Amino acid sequence: MNQNELRQEFGRKAEAVSAVVTPVADLAQAFAQAARLTALQGGKCLAAPGWEGADLAALKAACEQEGLELITQGLRERTGEFHTGLTRARWGVAETGTIVVESSSEELRLATMLSEVHVAVLPAANLRADLFSLEQELDRTLADAPGYLAFISGPSRTGDIELVLTLGAHGPRQLHIMLLEEGS
């Protein structure tokens, strides 16, 4: 599959599992989209552990523009306060619409699991056709254990015996993937 086909397939499969994929030109646009989404949904706080330097400064500016509080650490003490968790996705799997998030940090796990909305920034250059295409990269990553990789396909969901599907019962109600073209 060429890069354009990977993008299209990833978008179709991610949307099939209730994720929203939005192409963005750069990180500044991704941050602005995440902050705007949070504000439009009535959120007051965005959790974004792991961002540093110029990226963090741009994220702070986007949050200030929307009147949001930005939390980058101490999420355990602030559970229930943050509406949106903003993280990086390491890879995307086109075959299933899955993102792979390196979540060895507790702060990252809290941001991805306890927010109402998870926004993940995924470089389009890191899309792979399937898990087999990721095998060598996963082997290298897992060789540095201990570590924690989360494979996320859509928002949290659960179903009961009556076949009623509920989104967000055990995690975020929404997954938004910002497909980053910069550097692709």
Which residue ranges form the domains of the chain, and what is each CATH number? 3-180 (3.40.50.10420)
Q: Degrees (nearest 5) of the Cα angle 173, 101, 126?
A: 115
What would the mean pLDDT of 3-16 be, rounded to a whole number? 96
Residue 160, pLDDT above cutoff 50: yes
SS (H, E, C) the chain: CCHHHHHHHHHHHHHHCCEEEEEECCHHHHHHHHHHHHHHCCCCEEECCCCCHHHHHHHHHHHHHCCCEEECCCHHHHCCCCCEEEEECCEEECCCCEEEEECCCHHHHHHHHCCCEEEEEEEHHHEECCHHHHHHHHHHHHHCCCCCEEEECCCCEEECCCCCEEECCCCCCEEEEEEECCCC
Give the whole-angstrom CA distance, residue 85 versus residue 75.
10
Place of tokens 């995924």: 122
| Partners of 92 in the β-ladder | 99, 127
pLDDT value for 167: 64
pLDDT value for 147: 78
Residue 169, pLDDT above cutoff 90: no
CB contact at 8 A, 147 and 141 = yes
CB contact at 8 A, 118 and 85 = yes
Residue 184, pLDDT above cutoff 70: no
Residue 168, pLDDT above cutoff 60: no
Q: Which of 19-28, 56-65, 121-130, 148-157 has the lowest mean pLDDT?
A: 148-157
Residue 101, pLDDT above cutoff 60: yes
Whether the full predicted model's pTM is greater than 0.85, yes or no, is yes
